[in-house]
Amino acid sequence: MHEMGRVLVLVGAIAILAGVVLMLAPRIPWLGRLPGDIVINRGPVTVYFPLMTSVVVSVVVTLLLWLFGRR
């Protein structure tokens, strides 16, 4: 039971962190509008592929996890 409690606390902390990131994301003007992000407009349908934004976010998260994992 003790391990399950730790897992639930970790999942909750990740959910809170994701919520904070989603709340602050509109304040970062370049996020989602980088060169390399693909936007296709066909009449009433818009398809958006944030390729470069995904790469940047992945690199930042990887570096943060690497830095915190060394401790």
User: In whole angstroms, how far apart are CA 70 and each of 11, 56, 64?
Assistant: 21, 22, 10
Q: Domain boundaries in the chain?
A: 1-29, 31-71
CB under 8 Å to 40, separation ≥6 — which residues?
46, 47, 48, 49
Give the model confidence (pLDDT) of 32-42 as tens digits. 788 999 999 99
pTM for the complete prediction?
Answer: 0.61
Give the model confidence (pLDDT) of 40-69 as tens digits. 999 999 999 999 989 998 999 899 888 888
User: In whole angstroms, how far apart are CA 14 and each of 11, 18, 21, 39, 48?
Assistant: 5, 6, 10, 30, 26
